[in-house]
Amino acid sequence: QTSEQFNTAGRSVKTGLTASVIVAQWTWAATLLTSSNKAWAYGISGAYWYAAGASIQVLLFGVLAIEIKRKAPTAHTVCEMVRARWGVTAHVTFLVFCLLANIVVTSMLLLGGAATINALTGMNINLASFLIPWGVILYSAVGGLQAKFIADYVYVAVIFAVLVVCIYTVYVKNFSTDEVYGGLQVVKSYSEAQCARIFSDKSGMTFFQSGDYACGGVPGNQDGSYLTMVSSGGAMFGIINVVGNFGTVFCDNAYWQSAIAARPASAHRGYLLGGLAWFAIPFSLATSLGLCAVALQLPITAAEASAGLVPPAVATHLFGKAGAVMMTIMLFNAITSTGSAEGLAVSSLVVYDIYKTYINPQATGKRVLWLSKIVIVVFGGCMGALAVGLNAIGLNLDFVYLFMGILIGSAVVPLWNMLMWRKANGVGAVAAAWGGMLLA
């Protein structure tokens, strides 16, 4: 295996495989966990704004994929393109933003994954944070981008299979659309006294606190309904979601790598097909498990929901131990798929944009391949340590998800202009990226 094959998969991937790769690497732990949390908190508007607000970016990236094939057919990373057009200062700036994007995404994977595995199995959360990356590291370091693409195809098939089982169980086998709809209508009418009776122990002592449980009307929603799109909280989340996710697509070298690896005729088609197929995952999961949690009035607190525990709680309620196993498998697939993409993205940035650009421009293919594998292993270990640190200071999946737009959102427009606007200049791009971050 050559370094070129390891990092670009031979630049010959077809449409279907490109689409499955996009679905797989865009299916984070947050896709499975936070989407249901937003449905639990805001109702159907939360589910819609999560799914729609994170599909736009992938669909638009299809336009960039065409330009990558036209203007930079031999590139390995987005930062190589930045350096070729705008020079060293811009190169260093956007290298920082791309690495920040990789760190943020991997942090969310490990925070959400570790919290859920802890809830489902009882495994120590810090141990889970360290062990999760190793499943990713092993096959990524051995097989490179091509191995990741093949594994992603299998992961997506498993995720959709579990998704179909969840939807069928909620809306056909155990309940019906009418029952879930009726349950949500009843929940919004509950008074605080009724909620206190529902959330009480066997002795009649209530543990209900207003704002801690999804009981009663939703503040900011029309008539307090879970079934309305007129939701101030849902709309606010939608704006944050759109801005933040532009950063995690356009600043994430993994998406540029997937476009680089695709055949010229397949790149844009793969992104369009992948974006449309991905919408079904968070929207379906949130409108089945997320809304079911509210309709059944399961005792899930706001803190537990923010940690991403709505889907595992509902799955365990519906399926027992089998539900816990299903969620663990689904989550493991999502984490390993996206984690592999992030590891390979960081590896390419370190090797091609730092080592081969500034340290050893004459590096052989064999040396590049060896270093790529080393970086994947080191990055995985370091991210486990970072996840433990974030857990120690009390940060959860929801906080990091909402914070990501502040860190990397300002680099989106300059990167778009790099390929799409011939008058864009390096000084303006650098000023926009750093200035936007400081103002945010």
For residue 393, the model assigns a pLDDT of 82
For residue 281, the model assigns a pLDDT of 94
| Spatial distance between the Cα atoms of 181 and 177, rounded to a whole number of angstroms | 6
The two structure tokens encoding residue 226:
């879970």
| Spatial distance between the Cα atoms of 393 and 283, rounded to a whole number of angstroms | 31
Residue with tokens 């994929």: 65
pLDDT band (50, 70, 90) for residue 228: very high
For residue 2, the model assigns a pLDDT of 83
pLDDT band (50, 70, 90) for residue 254: very high
Percent of the chain with pLDDT over 90: 57
Which of 196-205, 273-282, 382-391 has the highest average model confidence (pLDDT)? 273-282
Higher pLDDT, residue 394 or 310: 310
For residue 30, the model assigns a pLDDT of 79
pLDDT digits (tens, 9 = 90+) for 59-109: 999 999 999 999 999 999 999 999 999 999 999 999 999 999 999 888 888
Mean pLDDT, rounded, for 372-383: 89
- Closest-CA residue to 372 (of 144, 94, 152): 144
pLDDT band (50, 70, 90) for residue 370: very high
**Distances, alpha carbon 199 to alpha carbons 206, 226, 316, in Å:** 6, 19, 19
Contacts of 387 (CB under 8 A, 6+ apart): 107, 110, 111, 114, 129, 130
For residue 36, the model assigns a pLDDT of 92
Q: pTM of the entire structure?
A: 0.87
| pLDDT of 397 strictly over 80 | no
Beta-ladder partners of 195: none
Measured in whole angstroms, how far is the alpha carbon of residue 255 from the centre of its chain? 12
Mean pLDDT, rounded, for 39-43: 94
Amino acid at 164: V
| Spatial distance between the Cα atoms of 144 and 146, rounded to a whole number of angstroms | 6
pLDDT digits (tens, 9 = 90+) for 267-316: 889 999 999 999 999 999 999 999 999 999 999 999 888 888 899 999 99
For residue 249, the model assigns a pLDDT of 92
For residue 333, the model assigns a pLDDT of 86
DSSP state at residue 43: T
Mean pLDDT, rounded, for 259-272: 90
Amino acid at 47: A
The two structure tokens encoding residue 96:
């920082």
Do residues 282 and 51 make contact, with C-beta atoms less than 8 angstroms apart? Answer: yes
For residue 38, the model assigns a pLDDT of 93
For residue 137, the model assigns a pLDDT of 80
Burial call 103-134: b when 16+ CB within 10 Å, e when fewer: bbbbbbbbbbbbbbbbbbeeeebbebbbebbe
Q: Which of 57-61, 120-124, 178-182 has the lowest mean pLDDT?
A: 120-124
For residue 367, the model assigns a pLDDT of 92
For residue 347, the model assigns a pLDDT of 94
| Spatial distance between the Cα atoms of 182 and 162, rounded to a whole number of angstroms | 25
Q: What is the mean pLDDT of the chain?
A: 90
pLDDT band (50, 70, 90) for residue 265: confident
| Spatial distance between the Cα atoms of 362 and 326, rounded to a whole number of angstroms | 49
Mean pLDDT, rounded, for 241-263: 91
Task: Please classify residue 39 by burial: count the beta carbons closer than 10 Å to its beta carbon, then call 0-12 exposed, 13-18 middle and 19+ buried.
Answer: buried
User: Mutual orientation of helices 78-86 and 88-121 as an angle, nearest 10°?
Assistant: 160
User: Mutual orientation of helices 267-285 and 29-42 as an angle, nearest 10°?
Assistant: 40
pLDDT band (50, 70, 90) for residue 320: very high
For residue 128, the model assigns a pLDDT of 87
For residue 158, the model assigns a pLDDT of 93
For residue 351, the model assigns a pLDDT of 95
| pLDDT of 353 strictly over 90 | yes
pLDDT digits (tens, 9 = 90+) for 131-143: 888 877 877 888 8
Percent of the chain with pLDDT over 70: 100
pLDDT digits (tens, 9 = 90+) for 407-431: 999 999 999 999 999 999 999 999 9
